[in-house]
Amino acid sequence: MAEQNSPSAQANEQKQPNPQGNGGAAEPATQTLSEADTLRARLQATEQQRDEYRDLARQNRADFENYQKRAQRDLATERRFAQMPLAGDLLQALDNLERAIAAATQSGDKGALAQGVAMVHSQLLDALRRHGVTRMDPQGKPFDPNLHQAVMQQSTADHPPHTVVQVLEPGYMLHERVLRPARVVVSTQ
């Protein structure tokens, strides 16, 4: 009988099933563990879903901020170059004024009409300059197909090959874009 009161004997008694078949006490404990495991799994899945939604929200926010910045840049660029068609049309009038001044100078006319045309020419150039239109001066510079339009080639010993020898029609830039390429004569060997 002393063996039955020992701690190992008591542990064996606890592990053995109830001979009367009353296992009701063990079932609620198992159910409670099962429910806790289910709740933990649901909590973990919910936390994972929350993290995914948070990451998606952050990504959408970053995409939207990038879109806003891109739209502002595009709008600023559009505003900056909005006067491009008007400036291009005014260049033809500017060319005609320059031809009139050249014709008056060639004929020796220094009258009021020639002076008036020269004044209008300088006023138009100033107005264009205020709005970002600048004249290119390619004379003696290397030929650049992005800035110049070669009309002719001329062999010359005075200039290295592919150099602008003569400007037939001046070119203009609007800020950093070519408004009209300069029409030029390019040297060859």
* CA distance linking residue 32 with residue 19, whole number of Å: 24
The number of helices, as runs of H, and strands, as runs of E, in the chain is 4, 6
151-156, Cβ contacts within 8 angstroms, sequence gap of 24 or more: 151/183, 151/184, 151/185, 152/185, 152/186, 153/185, 153/186, 153/187, 153/188, 154/185, 154/186, 154/187, 154/188, 155/187, 155/188, 155/189, 156/187, 156/188
Q: What pLDDT is stored for residue 21 in this prediction? A: 47
Q: What pLDDT is stored for residue 7 in this prediction? A: 47
- Report the candidate in 97, 158, 151, 154 with the shortest Cα–Cα distance to residue 127: 97
52 and 37 in a common domain:
yes
89 and 73 in a common domain:
no
Q: What pLDDT is stored for residue 27 in this prediction? A: 64
Q: What pLDDT is stored for residue 18 in this prediction? A: 47
Q: Which domain holds residue 35?
A: 28-80
CATH number at residue 176: 2.30.22.10
Domain assignment present for residue 17? The answer is no
Amino acid making up residue 1 = M
92 and 119 in a common domain:
yes
Total domains present in the chain: 3
Domain assignment present for residue 108? The answer is yes
Give 98-127 as a DSSP string.
HHHHHHHHHHT--SHHHHHHHHHHHHHHHH
Q: What pLDDT is stored for residue 61 in this prediction? A: 96
Domain assignment present for residue 21? The answer is no
Average pLDDT per 10 consecutive residues for the chain, totaling 189 residues: 46 46 56 85 94 96 97 94 91 93 90 92 94 92 94 89 92 94 92
Q: What pLDDT is stored for residue 8 in this prediction? A: 46
Between the CA atoms of 37, 40, 41 and 42, what dihedral angle is there, to the nearest 10 degrees? Answer: 120
The pTM of the whole model exceeds 0.75 = no
Domain assignment present for residue 46? The answer is yes
Lateral strand order in the sheet of 164-169: 148-155, 182-188, 164-169
138 and 185 in a common domain:
yes
